[in-house]
Amino acid sequence: MSNFNSNIDNRNIEERKLLIKQKKLELDEEKEKRTIWRQEDLLINNRLTWLLVSQALLFAAYGWVMKGDICKPELLIILLFVIPCIGFIISYLILISIYAAKEAQVALKDTGVIYWGSMGVSERTTYLGYVAPFGIPVSFMLAWLVLFSYVADISILFIIPVLLLLIYTTTILYNLWFDF
């Protein structure tokens, strides 16, 4: 009888060891996913830093060029068009890369290993946290479009729908590209 009990105890011990190993694997997987999530957050932060530095330099250059006495008039006109274009393009590219980081985080959430509640936040607060990373590049894009429309003598009422169309088209292309 004691041999039978020891077999049952050994089996229970082995089952517990197996359960502990499985739980450890699950915890390791969650830890890895959280590390990836944090990395995506850091990437968003880095991209916003790049954006703010580049935009500060470009606005300073634009203001310097607007003084008008630094170069020949032909070059002045070119710079007044080129600087807003560069500022817009940089803002647009940063916006796309921030969107990619957000999509990576959503994909991590969709694995089921990470969920909003496990990080101490709700889904709503997480999405509200994306407002600034998306709003800042769009704000710079709009500012550059306003400056460009002023120099090019184009109505801003024409430029705003172009901006919205560009952002909408980008999200469609992004979703088509990554659906494969």
**Tens digits of per-residue pLDDT, 94-128?**
988 888 888 888 888 777 766 655 565 677 777 78
Maximum average pLDDT range among 53-57, 64-68, 80-84: 53-57
Q: Residue 112 has what DSSP assignment?
A: S
pTM above 0.85, yes or no: no
Distance CA 8, CA 1 (A): 11
Return the structure tokens found at 134. 């998306």
Which pLDDT belongs to residue 166?
Answer: 77
Question: Taking the domains of the chain in order of start, what are their residue ranges?
Answer: 2-178
Residue 114 three-state SS? coil
Task: Based on DSSP, count helices (H) and strands (E) in the chain, helices before strands.
Answer: 5, 0
Distance CA 47, CA 98 (A): 7
